[in-house]
A and B are shown apart, each in its own frame.
Chain A
Amino acid sequence: MQIPYTVEERPETGLTNGKFGIWLFLASEVMLFGSLFSALIVLRMGAGSWPHGWEILNIPIGTINTMVLIGSSVTMVMAWASLRLNNFGAFRKYLGSTVLLALVFLVFKAIEYNEKFQHGYFPSTHNFFATYFTMTGLHGLHVIGGIIVNSYLLFPGSAMWKTDPERFTNRIEYAGLYWHFVDLVWIFLFPILYLL
């Protein structure tokens, strides 16, 4: 039995089921990160003292990681555009770059975490570090999730391009929407944690 509305649009929504589904998922993700931002506001406004992120965190690494994630968003959308232009070779190049940039992001994050641990800063040190490790840690888990999904689509999952190219292109679009959301979260996390 064929799964309905994977390529053709559902009349009620004008969308494929996958696209509507990924947007509903992203809506739930907004609330998940929103709860953490809300907790940060409460903790910071209620604290007797709160360190400046720029005094404690590594701004150069944070800035490089922001650029890396923005770059990966561009390669992700270019991977989708390449499929739309029937250029599978370019798609592989761009999606491979996305995965590689995501790994670079995690390596820098690991260096940063290690630096903090070396200086004796742990989540238990202060609420600032508790929120920093929780928010960047959850974001890091999302990056790992993106790497897993994109790696699947890059290697075994790409076999679908030969049998059902339109459906495969849609899958890349959904994976891209998720990846851009991960980038979007970091765009707000970086100034709030590092620069204020």
Chain B
Amino acid sequence: MSAHDADIPKQVKAFKLVFAALALGTVLTVAVSTFHLPIVAAVVVALLIASAKGSLVAGWFMHLRAEKKAIYAVLALTVFFFAFLLLWPLLDIGGGMGKQNVMDGVKQPWDPHSGHGATTGHGGAGGESGSNQSGN
């Protein structure tokens, strides 16, 4: 066992702690979702918990806590283009904000209130229907 490998037993302990934290994070995510927060708050909380869990996986399991510069450079470039990919469409959506949505008031096939939708064992699919929810 090399000097570098001598560190492995410590890492194994850390892996178990990370697993406990990830399980706790999952329970927390589900628990928070039962409060049915307003959509913006729900998205923020869900993404914050998911990001914390993702950081644990990337940092410990994928060893990103201590990696070579070449990998950080690749990831920095990826993050830039990923952010661009997510934000670019928002410019187009922003241009249409405040305008009448063509789907407002149109009955959806999955909506049980429309009279021709299927029902589920999970309470149906009411969803954010109606014109006041079109921006969500």
Contact = CB atoms under 8 A, between A and B. Distances in A.
Contacts of A38: 85-86, 88-89
Contact of A63 (B26, B43, B78, B85): B26
A38 to B, nearest CB: 5
B112 to A, nearest CB: 10
Nearest to B77: A27
B102 to A, nearest CB: 7
Interface stretch (A70-78, A100-108, A138-146, A147-155): A70-78
A2 interface: no
Contact of B39 (A67, A129, A196): A196
Contacts, number: 197
A164 interface: no
B125 A70 contact: no
A27 B72 CA distance: 11
A54 B12 CA distance: 36
Given A46-B96, A47-B103, A191 B15 contact: no
Interface of B: 1, 5, 8-9, 11-12, 15-16, 18-19, 22-23, 26, 29-30, 33, 36, 39, 42-43, 46-47, 49-50, 53-54, 57-58, 60-62, 68-71, 74-75, 77-78, 81-82, 85-86, 88-90, 92-93, 96, 101-106, 108-111, 118-131, 133-136
